[in-house]
Amino acid sequence: MYRVMLIDDEQSARSLLKASINWERYDMEVAGEAASGIEAINIIDEIVPDIAFVDISMPFMNGIEFTEVATKRYPGLKIIIMTAFDEFEYARQCIRLPVFDYMLKPFVRAEVEENLKKLKDILDRTVKDTEPAVEIEPSSIGQIKRYIEDNYTDSKLNLTSVAQIFGFSASYLSRKFKQDTGKNFVEYLTECRMKRAMELAASNMKMFSASTEVGIPDPNYFGRCFKKYTGQSYSDYASSVSK
């Protein structure tokens, strides 16, 4: 099963694409969705997609910026840019990136399926790289934790970027990190950000400012993360703390 990730700020667009295509026919499944480039960066290491459908026009981090980051970190990832016609020329001019294809919105099933067929053929022929067996010292995990604590305000920071900086494979680092700390990488990163966010909430900072401050400039995603972490919405938390 090849893993597909849908990145589009329109919920209905993601739902429609997910529902209207018979993914299984191409040995694929929709493994995850993201409503912005920021969210995609944050969760992509958990989803580990083979294919990403990326909408061009998204708030906070648009499809082009995301593609720039993603093609560097995930060389094997097949990206399909989804664009309305009036952005098509713009998209083509801006991206000199090795994306797999451009598709016009609103999509037509026949076109999508044609692309999926081609993708499956290519993926079937690709042999997955065996991970390099680099031992990670326990001290390295400590360094990594410190690195996260120092750099969590960078909105593009994620497992893969850190793994690349320290010279490990992402999946190995993920496993080792969980093993050593009892938490997985994303949880730890989010925890760092949320702790800071709680402080900011206590100081009555507005949510959209706080979200940028802690490295999640998409306030919608930030809000969800905050609620998931604290069990309370940002505004509720802020008002409860200040009382």
Partner 1 sequence: MGTGKRTKEDKKRFLSGTSLAVKVWYIIGGVFLLFTIMFSISALVLRERSIRDYEIRESETILNSMSGSITANIENYKDISRLVMLNKQVTAFLRAPAEEVGAGLKNDTIYGINDIFMVSDYVDSVFIFRSDNHYVTTGKGLYHIDYDLMEDETWHAHIKEREGGAAISLNGNGAVYRANGNQLLTIGRDIYDIYLQKPVGLLLVNISTGMLKSATESQKGSKVCIVSEDGTLLAGDKSVSEYFTSDMAIRYTMVHKSVRGNKNVRMISSIRVPDTPIIVMCASNASAQSIPVETTAVMLLLFVTFVVSISFAAVFISRNITHPIYTLSAEMEKTKEAGWLKKIDAEMPRNELSMLKESYNSIIDYLNDLFTRLIDKEKSVQKAEMRVLHEQIKPHFLYNSLETISFMALDAGAKDVHSALETLGSFYRNFLSKGNREIPLSREISIIKDYLALQKLRYGDIINDEYDISEDTLDIKIPKLILQPLVENSIYHGIRLTGEPGTIKITSYLEDDDIHIIVRDTGVGMSQDTIDELLGRSETPVEDQNASFGLKGTIERIKYYCDYKDVVRIRSEIGEFTEIELIIPTKLKEEERGNV
- Of 1, 97, 104, 202, the residue at the interface with partner 1 (CB under 8 A) is 104
Amino acid at 228: K
Query: How far apart are alpha carbons 36 and 24 in whole angstroms?
Result: 26
| CB within 8 Å of 113: residues ≥ 6 apart | 21, 22, 26
Q: What sign has the CA pseudo-torsion 12, 13, 17, 20? A: positive
Stretch that binds partner 1, among 44-52, 79-87, 134-142, 160-168 (CB under 8 A): 79-87
| CB within 8 Å of 210: residues ≥ 6 apart | 197, 200, 201, 222, 234
Listed residue (112, 98, 117, 130) closest to 18, CA to CA: 112
- Of 24, 75, 76, 86, the residue at the interface with partner 1 (CB under 8 A) is 86
Q: With binding defined as CB under 8 A, does residue 97 bind partner 1?
A: no
Query: How far apart are alpha carbons 184 and 188 in whole angstroms?
Result: 6
Q: With binding defined as CB under 8 A, does residue 182 bind partner 1?
A: no
Tokens 């402080």 correspond to what residue? 199
- Of 1, 22, 72, 84, the residue at the interface with partner 1 (CB under 8 A) is 84
Read off the tokens for 184.
């997985």
- Of 19, 97, 134, 202, the residue at the interface with partner 1 (CB under 8 A) is 19
Site residues (CB under 8 A) for partner 1, limited to 41-60: 57
Q: With binding defined as CB under 8 A, does residue 126 bind partner 1?
A: no
Stretch that binds partner 1, among 80-88, 142-150, 192-200, 225-233 (CB under 8 A): 80-88
Q: With binding defined as CB under 8 A, does residue 94 bind partner 1?
A: no
Using the CB atoms, write b or e for 158-185: b if 16+ within 10 Å. Answer: bbbbbbeeeebbbebbbebbeeeeeebb
Shortest Å distance, C-beta 84 to partner 1? 6
Stretch that binds partner 1, among 84-92, 140-148, 166-174, 201-209 (CB under 8 A): 84-92
Q: With binding defined as CB under 8 A, does residue 106 bind partner 1?
A: yes
Contacting positions for partner 1 (CB under 8 A): 10, 12-13, 15-16, 19-20, 57, 84-86, 88-89, 104-106, 108-109
